[in-house]
Amino acid sequence: MVQRPASVVKELIENSLDAKATDIVIQIEEGGRELIRVVDNGVGMDRDDLLLAFEQHATSKLFDIADLAAIKTLGFRGEALASIASVSRIDARTCNNDMGEGFRLLINGGKVDRLEGAAMKQGTSITVRNLFFNTPARKKFLKSANAEYRHIVEIVRRFALARPNIRFHLTANDKDVYILPPEDLSSRLNRIFSKRLTENCITVHEEEPPLILKGFMGTRELVRRKSGEQYLYVNGRLVTDRMMNSAVYAAYGGHLDKGEFPFFVLYLSLPPAEVDVNVHPAKTEVKFRNEWQIYQFIRQSCELAIREWTGDSSGISPSGGLNEQVFFSGKRPLPAAAPPRLEGEQLSFSGKDEKNKTLRRMEKSSFSANEFSLDDRIRRFEKSITEGTTDDAHLLLNERNFWQAHGKYIFTQISSGVVVIDQRAAHTRILYDRAIKALQQTSSSTSQQLLFPVTLELSPDDFSILLEMVPSLEKLGFSMREFGRFSILIEAVPADLQWLEEGKVVLQILDDYKNSRRLHNPVSEKIAMAYAQRAAVRRGEELTPTEMQRLTDELFQTENPYLSPTGKPVIIRLTLNELDRRFERN
């Protein structure tokens, strides 16, 4: 029940909402490990209810067994307060009248210390101090204060989106994080996220009694590489349901790449008897009586919303999929990000027009382009692995030996057959090795100053993570600083990124880094990986023979040209014997 400070915040806010509060204040210190205080203006409790509230399995929200079949409150088991009190020090104050005559209850590790009268306004205030003070084994597994803070921010955000008509005020270490007055959902989204988000949202509102679905879903502009901005509420309760989420994804008609997640905030209303919320300890999973019917209702409602947004029935294809040209190039077209361009000794991918492609002058080498074949290069590289030699560092190839297929693969002939190189994987390997070296240095890499600095608005938790990444990103060539509340000003970017959309790339690097936080790799490797994946040449990008030659030349200067940083193959050799066998030749 109580896993971390965010669990405490969740349970206390649910109690406030069930008490019909319209104003909820949350205060935390040190990520909630030292102090959590939730104050509301709800109906409050009398003396007896205050004592019973901290007893196990004591609840005022169920009156008979039939109520379990149609639960309307967020809490109902009567376990949360007792669990919280058993591992912390509690100061609970409550008043259920307009006369200011309330009560104060002090609990220390589950044992009642004192019950006394207290003067206060109507409502309830619960302060939780020194969480897990009497269970050091559990306290040891808490994350850093910043990490716990981010979990609490996410919890408060979920409730704030669920109830935009309620005022929420979150402070951390005496600094305001959220001050959210009662407002409509669109204004709440704008206040929690950013104006950019609300400008790229599609309104959803469909009714098919007894089912109602309303809310917002994002355009392709709001798609991110990390899940977490998908909010589905069932009768006001945030739930995690893969099947219902997939109904929303299906409405996009398959135009989401693997690992991409669209933004949405959707509210599903249905009779309480049609959904069972008592199937998960945290009450985040539910069971629908008619699951398939609800799946179809959500999918069709989202598809219809997209059709209305495009203003054209062709926005949805007869098969139910999106018309890509209408949706992704319609009223709110996405700016097409240009491919990355590398400077100095780096490749230059400045566009698909071969006349505009330029290659920076290569560093002079004592070897000519024809001096070594790819056979020699591979043989010398494999020899360097076994014997520790590095005399192939400047090997170049004849650019006439390169061919590109489908903007993905580079083919070249060797004496024993054919070599195939995955161009994106190769470029990722090059950039990853370069990033690792840059992060180990004290000075910053070469950067490109932006003519117009870019302001990036972030959620409080993303802002906190990005601040941790800034020193490493500056070594890679970024220049950024705080600019207002939860905003970052990007003033310069690495030369690799100078032709990409800066703000979007930083968000993608942030998402990739967050996705890798579960891994036990060093932070530098996680940031280098995120950077390399975002800066690498895209699949489908056409390269000139000279660029293919340079890509291969730089690839074989890396420590391991045969594998990408994720362990996938970069180079495949097809021997003449294998080709002959495929063509059934003797």
CATH number where 244 lies: 3.30.230.10
Domain boundary among 143, 158, 181: 181
> 303 burial class (0-12, 13-18, 19+ CB within 10 angstroms)?
buried
Same domain? For 259 and 158 the reply is: no
- Report the distance separating Cα 141 and Cα 398, nearest Å: 57
Q: DSSP alpha helices (H): ranges in 252-408?
A: 291-310, 324-328, 374-387
Asked if residues 479 and 491 have their Cβ atoms less than 8 Å apart, the reply is yes
Q: In this structure, is residue 174 part of a structural domain?
A: yes
Count Cα neighbours of 48 within 13 Å in the Cβ-side half-sphere: 1
Strands 230-234 and 264-269: parallel
Tell me which residue of 112, 191, 131 sits closest to 6, measured CA to CA.
131
Q: In this structure, is residue 169 part of a structural domain?
A: yes
Q: How many domains does the chain have?
A: 3
Cα 81-85-86 angle, rounded to 5 deg: 120
Same domain? For 124 and 232 the reply is: no
What is the CB neighbour count within 10 angstroms for residue 452?
Answer: 7
Instruction: Decide: helix, strand or coil at residue 492.
Output: strand
Strands 101-108 and 111-119: antiparallel
Asked if residues 541 and 339 have their Cβ atoms less than 8 Å apart, the reply is yes
Same domain? For 323 and 452 the reply is: no
Strands 175-180 and 230-234: unpaired
Q: Would you say residue 19 has pLDDT above 70?
A: yes
Tell me which residue of 200, 227, 228, 202 sits closest to 213, measured CA to CA.
202
Lowest mean pLDDT: which of 261-265, 325-329, 520-524, 548-552? 325-329
Helix pair 460-476, 423-439: axis angle to 10 deg = 90
What is the CB neighbour count within 10 angstroms for residue 489?
Answer: 15
Q: Would you say residue 284 has pLDDT above 90?
A: no
Lowest mean pLDDT: which of 153-157, 219-223, 488-492, 515-519? 515-519
- Report the distance separating Cα 571 and Cα 422, nearest Å: 7
- What does DSSP assign to residue 224? B
Segment holding 489, helix H or strand E:
strand 487-494
Give the phi and the psi of residue 166 in degrees, each rounded to 5.
-115, 140
Tell me which residue of 131, 167, 135, 172 sits closest to 150, measured CA to CA.
172
Domain boundary among 181, 211, 228: 181
pLDDT in tens, 341-368: 333 334 444 333 333 333 333 333 333 3
Q: Would you say residue 1 has pLDDT above 70?
A: no
Q: What average pLDDT score do residues 379-386 get?
A: 50
Same domain? For 13 and 161 the reply is: yes
Q: In this structure, is residue 429 part of a structural domain?
A: no
* Rg (alpha carbons) of the chain, rounded to whole number: 29
Same domain? For 172 and 203 the reply is: no
Which residues lie below 8 Å from residue 424, measured CB to CB, with a gap of 6+? 408, 536, 537, 538, 539
- Report the distance separating Cα 237 and Cα 162, nearest Å: 7
> 176 burial class (0-12, 13-18, 19+ CB within 10 angstroms)?
exposed
User: What is the spatial order of strands in the sheet that 211-218 belongs to?
Assistant: 201-208, 211-218, 264-269, 230-234, 237-239
Same domain? For 50 and 152 the reply is: yes
Q: Encoding tokens for residue 472?
A: 């490493």
pLDDT in tens, 236-259: 888 888 889 999 998 887 667 777
Same domain? For 214 and 172 the reply is: no
Q: Encoding tokens for residue 435?
A: 């990033």
Please tell me the predicted confidence (pLDDT) of residue 355.
32
Q: In this structure, is residue 154 part of a structural domain?
A: yes
The whole-model pTM stands at 0.71
Strand partners, 239: 232
CATH code, domain carrying 20: 3.30.565.10
551 torsion bin: left (phi>0), alpha (psi -120 to 50), beta (else):
alpha
pLDDT in tens, 165-186: 999 999 999 999 999 999 999 9
Domain boundary among 153, 181, 209: 181
Q: In this structure, is residue 36 part of a structural domain?
A: yes
Same domain? For 34 and 153 the reply is: yes
Same domain? For 107 and 208 the reply is: no
Strand partners, 208: 211
Q: In this structure, is residue 411 part of a structural domain?
A: no
Same domain? For 154 and 238 the reply is: no
Please tell me the predicted confidence (pLDDT) of residue 387.
45
Q: Would you say residue 499 has pLDDT above 70?
A: no
pLDDT in tens, 112-144: 999 999 999 999 999 999 999 999 888 888 888
Lowest mean pLDDT: which of 99-113, 140-154, 161-175, 221-235? 221-235
Please tell me the predicted confidence (pLDDT) of residue 28.
96
Higher pLDDT, residue 40 or 580: 40
Same domain? For 230 and 315 the reply is: yes
String of DSSP letters for 404-445: EETTTEEEEEETTEEEEEEHHHHHHHHHHHHHHHHHTSSSPP
Q: In this structure, is residue 517 part of a structural domain?
A: yes
Report the 3 state secondary structure along 527-580. HHHHHHHHHCCCCCCCCCHHHHHHHHHHHCCCCCCCECCCCCECEEEEEHHHHH
Q: In this structure, is residue 273 part of a structural domain?
A: yes
Average pLDDT, the chain: 80
The residue segments making up the domain with residue 284 are: 193-328
Instruction: Decide: helix, strand or coil at residue 45.
Output: coil
CATH code, domain carrying 514: 3.30.1370.100
Which residues lie below 8 Å from residue 549, measured CB to CB, with a gap of 6+? 369, 396, 397, 398, 399, 402
- Report the distance separating Cα 220 and Cα 324, nearest Å: 10
Same domain? For 102 and 160 the reply is: yes
Distances (CA, A) of 349 to 8, 338, 353, 405, 547: 51, 9, 10, 17, 8
